[in-house]
Amino acid sequence: MENELNGKNPNQKTRYRIVLWILLILGLLVLAYLAPTLTKPEYYSSDDFFPYWAAGKILLSRQNPYDPQLKENLQIKLTGHGSDRYPIAIMLNPPWAVTLVMPFGLVNYPTSRLIWLVFSIGCIVFSAQLNWRLYHGPPRQRWIPWVVVLLFAPAISVLEVGQISALILLGVTLFLYFTISSKNDWAAGASLALVAIKPQVIYLFLLAILVWVIHQRRWKILLSAVLSALVLSLIAMLFNPRIIQNYLIMVQTGYLTELATPTLGAYLRFFWLGTDKFWLQFVAPAIAILWFAYYWYKHHHTWSWLNEVPILLLVSTVSAPYTYTYDQIILIPAIIQAVVWLVLDWKRWSTLIFALLFLIVNILDLVLHMRLSDFWFVWMAPALFIWYLLIRRMYANSSAGAQKPVPG
């Protein structure tokens, strides 16, 4: 990479550094703009990071991190008022995820929120850059993933509300890297502990890994994934031996049935067939699993993780039983692959059209979110899916778009 920049075109290297500095300055300006707002007490009740911080702090005090009343009491103590949400927002992730956020409960909320913001930015930028490398993006255009991240509405949403979804993106990216580049099954399996923070969002990817591991007999990956989740859960159990039972009780209380999410199942329930029919949330996933069975049967002999992961992630987000638009940050690998295809054949008019469509979809998402709740954004995932499929169809088989990725 550096040889290309240092050897033949010093002007290119200078332009590259200028672009990086501009992007860095823009990032710092955004950080400076967000930081004072995110740490104000009146923001706590609407910030998604507060339940994570509260869960970590409650676990450190050896109590139940899934107890909404304990979280509410902590919020009242800090701000003087309770939550403005119903049901009360709590951490819904499994016990091993609580261990990951527990260190953030060691410091006060404003400090923790700023650390989380910087950490999330690092996860997203690192993942975008590594995906650019994995999908053979031109080294001279390494600034492009930065621009993509700055323009991608789910990435902005993740940073704004303090969501944990950036860790899922990091887990997917590390799995790809350790499986394809370094051939380290133990590390690849360990990265799945991050992926499984929200299994309902990325369930087809996890199912594909399970089937692939069995087919390839890559038992180290499965063993490492189980051990990683187990070790993290055991750490949580040191502070609360009943945390697994607490989690299972929370899942069974019907808390999830109260949430109106931008999913096909939620629309079937809230608009047509009745909110009491929670099983409707799983109609789309059931159909998607049947699709995957056919897809695996057709492609398993030539399976390449680089080629298949984008499709799995997109179908998962479109059909997920429970998800929000910020969870679509996991689509960064698909977005990067599509952008690489566009960059490698940038002289086409269609490249400009696809770039404009990407910009329009994301601006529309950000603007509409100023007035509408996330429930009304069920169209976002299908829009990105169609955008990706059109690019894949037009470029994947062309001389510029048909990459030769290392088999996964």
Pick the more confident residue, 27 or 5: 27
- Tell me the residue type at 300: H
* pLDDT, position 354: 92
**Count of CA atoms in the C-beta half-sphere (13 A) of 331:** 29
Q: Which residues contact 262 (CB under 8 A, 6 or more apart)?
A: 323, 324, 325, 374, 375, 376, 377, 378, 380
Question: Measured in whole angstroms, how far is the alpha carbon of residue 197 from the centre of its chain?
Answer: 10
* pLDDT, position 240: 96
The angle subtended at Cα 214 by Cα 211 and Cα 218, nearest 5°, is: 115
Give residue-wise pLDDT tens across range 39-57. Answer: 565 566 668 899 999 999 9
pLDDT band, residue 382 (cuts 50/70/90): very high
Closest to 124 measured CA to CA, from 98, 158, 160: 158
Residue 92 CA to residue 89 CA, distance in Å, equals 9
pLDDT band, residue 405 (cuts 50/70/90): very low
Give residue-wise pLDDT tens across range 249-292. Answer: 988 876 777 778 898 888 888 887 877 788 888 999 999 999 99
* pLDDT, position 261: 87
Query: What does the domain layout of the chain look like in residue ranges?
Result: 2-395
Residue 94 CA to residue 225 CA, distance in Å, equals 14
| 132 within 8 A of 336, measured Cβ to Cβ | yes
Three-state secondary structure call for residue 199: coil
Residue 295, judged by CB atoms within 10 A of its CB (0-12, 13-18, 19+), counts as middle
- Tell me the residue type at 120: S
Residue 194, judged by CB atoms within 10 A of its CB (0-12, 13-18, 19+), counts as buried
Closest to 317 measured CA to CA, from 402, 225, 388, 256: 388
Cis check for the bond before 94: say yes or no (omega within 30 of 0).
no
Q: What share of the chain is helix, strand, coil (3-state, %, to 5)?
A: 75, 0, 25
Q: What is the DSSP letter of 182?
A: S
| 202 within 8 A of 98, measured Cβ to Cβ | no
* pLDDT, position 11: 63
Indicate if the pLDDT at residue 342 is higher than 60.
yes
Give residue-wise pLDDT tens across range 120-158. Answer: 999 999 999 999 999 999 988 888 898 898 889 999 999
* pLDDT, position 219: 95
| Residue appearing with tokens 């930065």 | 146
Residue 339 CA to residue 25 CA, distance in Å, equals 24
Length of the chain: 408
pLDDT band, residue 76 (cuts 50/70/90): confident
Q: Of the given ranges (40-49, 189-198, 239-248), which has the lowest mean pLDDT?
A: 40-49
Neighbouring C-beta atoms of residue 192, cutoff 10 Å = 22
- Tell me the residue type at 123: C
* pLDDT, position 330: 96
| 100 within 8 A of 231, measured Cβ to Cβ | no
- Structure token pair of residue 252: 């069974």
Q: What is the DSSP letter of 279?
A: G
Residue 306 CA to residue 337 CA, distance in Å, equals 9
Closest to 293 measured CA to CA, from 386, 201, 210, 390: 210
State phi, psi for 274 to the nearest 5 degrees: 110, 135
Residue 170 CA to residue 136 CA, distance in Å, equals 18
- What's the sign of the alpha-carbon dihedral 179, 181, 183, 186? negative
